[in-house]
Structure 1
């Protein structure tokens, strides 16, 4: 981002500094005044640069190109950061003997939820709680309608008993808790603690399942497992750092561009930020679907929707109360429940999500976005 600050410095110097230098060489009698003007321009450029360095949210005024570059750069960094985080976290998880479905619903789901956490928390604290709430509700709908839909179109997804019986109920519970706790128009500290308590219960259930799986692993299988390394830990750390920077850029660019066009913070969160933060889930699930790893794809979506509400909304609500507008209770909350119910129904019917199901979910998401337009 300091590149834009440096650009501002260059602009400040150009509009007078260098011009004054050439003029003074042509007119010695005016050298002193030109020199003073040149120094003033340089100081002005330095002031802009320092202001940009001190205020991460500051963007250069003028053309929307800067905001578009911030959005594109933010999404790219979110994707790169999530890929690093997924790679490192997956290697660490496989080193302790986790299965594909468990890795998808825990490690990868939590890793790909990190963009939502950073965007929602930073957005709620620095801009508006509508940003955080909109990003989560929109991201959960996008995970079902877009991520699960496109993955199923690429290849039908078989649903394992573990995901269906142990993980899907928590996804339904998370959606019901968010709607129930937010129906009074506010998700406060106590509500956030309730969500975090549900997260602890989910984590405990997963860990208990992991312990059962590990006890069934033979010594021969343990010897064949890869060893966890410091490199994997470093990859995870770098991924988190890149996610922080990417979320900052995405918030700045999306907020500035759509606010200038007259859109509300809630609409920004439900569309641009929700889509941007869902890209890691989409990338991970699509790659898994292409490789025929259905458990990974489904587990990623289910786990992400659980963590989005229980972890992200829970943490944000503890940090700062989240206001829930009447329009959210009237449209976005019901839409979240409908998409969740439809997805669960598809999973229960034949224990798979077919290509037709995927097309229905994808079209449904398109309708959802269309209805959001003012």
Structure 2
């Protein structure tokens, strides 16, 4: 019978696998449902796919806040957003240079920058409480309303869809439900295994969230963006990360803060939050230069992420 370190490692690996499988099912089902009713690839990337791939962070952060500490939630979101930019887009750009669509650059990127800035401003007093959580959720509601409006403008005419469009498929719905179940199980296993293993080694809850949980919950974004880059669907790759970073802050931290106040330590204010701002600003600057992310940009993002992880270790 496994116990201690062996059990934690098994739970950690099982959690990562379950999160990956769950996100793949969720992305496949939700993506086909959305495309079937006429949403364009870039719009699907920043809406349905981004929201679906944010589900691991939502489950891990919420369950972690209830079962372990709110530091788990904050660390997971900060670490995941930085991983999305440095690791996910870095690898995707290395696979294939990513062209930035006008829709993502001028409609969605400003919301990503605003969400990061809002997080910094609301966290300056050292606490993200219920009021701040409500503010996040209200901004999320406004962003969602904007996306719904934009989706109606950007929708593809039925005549241009494959087979003229199609009805909702029961298999796609079952993929979505199965993906959600796998995400719930995977998030619990990942928290139990990852936190137990690192706690045994003497690391803090925030460090656990910033590293193993953030990397684990970024697997869906990594899979969706890299596969999108390989297939030439750069709209999915970029939109997925931009949308996911928005939902991570507004939805995940909003829900966690409403459930339980999140404390923001002085060290987080000095390092992790500025790191998020730096990665966000650098990404926007790269996007604005020629409206694409080159392989050189991708390499620079990966190096930056490696430096961030190195500086985390005490």
> Normalised by the shorter chain, which TM-score bucket?
over 0.9
Rate the CA distance shift 1:219–1:288 in 2: closer, same or farther, 3 A.
closer
Q: Structure 1 residue 223: deviation in Å?
A: 5.3
Q: Structure 2 stretches of 5 or more lacking a match?
A: none
Tell me the equivalent position of 2:103.
162
Deviation track 1:16-73 (CA, whole Å, cap 9, x = no partner) reads xxxxxxxxxxxxxxxxxxxxxxxxxxxxxxxxxxxxxxxxxxxx644x1111111000
Paired residues of 2:38 and 2:158 also in contact (CA < 8 A): no
Q: The residue matched to 2:138 in structure 1 has which SS?
A: helix
Aligned residues: 314
Tell me the equivalent position of 1:89.
30
Q: Distance in 1 between matches of 2:174 and 2:162?
A: 24
Tell me the equivalent position of 2:208.
268
Q: Structure 1 residue 354: deviation in Å?
A: 0.4
Tell me the equivalent position of 1:238.
178
Pick one of 261, 265, 274 that aligns with 1:321.
261
Q: Structure 1 residue 202: deviation in Å?
A: 1.0
Deviation track 1:336-360 (CA, whole Å, cap 9, x = no partner) reads 0000000000000100000000000
Tell me the equivalent position of 1:31.
none
Tell me the equivalent position of 2:69.
128
Q: The residue matched to 1:267 in structure 2 has which SS?
A: helix
Q: Structure 1 residue 220: deviation in Å?
A: 5.7
Paired residues of 2:16 and 2:186 also in contact (CA < 8 A): yes
Tell me the equivalent position of 1:207.
148
Q: Which is higher, the Rg of structure 1 or of structure 2? A: 1
Q: Distance in 1 between matches of 2:223 and 2:158?
A: 33
Paired residues of 2:14 and 2:190 also in contact (CA < 8 A): yes
Q: Structure 1 stretches of 5 or more lacking a match?
A: 1-6, 8-59
Tell me the equivalent position of 1:17.
none
State TM-score, norm by structure 2. Answer: 0.98
Pick one of 226, 244, 247 that aligns with 2:166.
226
Comparing both chains, which one has the higher relative contact order based on Cα–Cα distances under 8 Å and sequence gaps of 6 or more?
A: 2
Which moves more between the two structures, 249-258 or 229-238?
Answer: 229-238
Paired residues of 1:110 and 1:307 also in contact (CA < 8 A): yes
Deviation track 1:204-236 (CA, whole Å, cap 9, x = no partner) reads 11111111123x625464852232112211110
Tell me the equivalent position of 1:55.
none
Tell me the equivalent position of 1:259.
199
Tell me the equivalent position of 1:356.
296
Q: Structure 1 residue 92: deviation in Å?
A: 0.8
**Alignment of 1:70 onto 2:11:** yes
Pick one of 127, 145, 155 that aligns with 2:86.
145
Q: Distance in 2 between matches of 1:142 and 1:74?
A: 18
Q: Distance in 1 between matches of 2:275 and 2:154?
A: 36
Q: Distance in 1 between matches of 2:233 and 2:161?
A: 21
Pick one of 281, 286, 304 that aligns with 1:346.
286
Which moves more between the two structures, 75-84 or 216-225?
Answer: 216-225
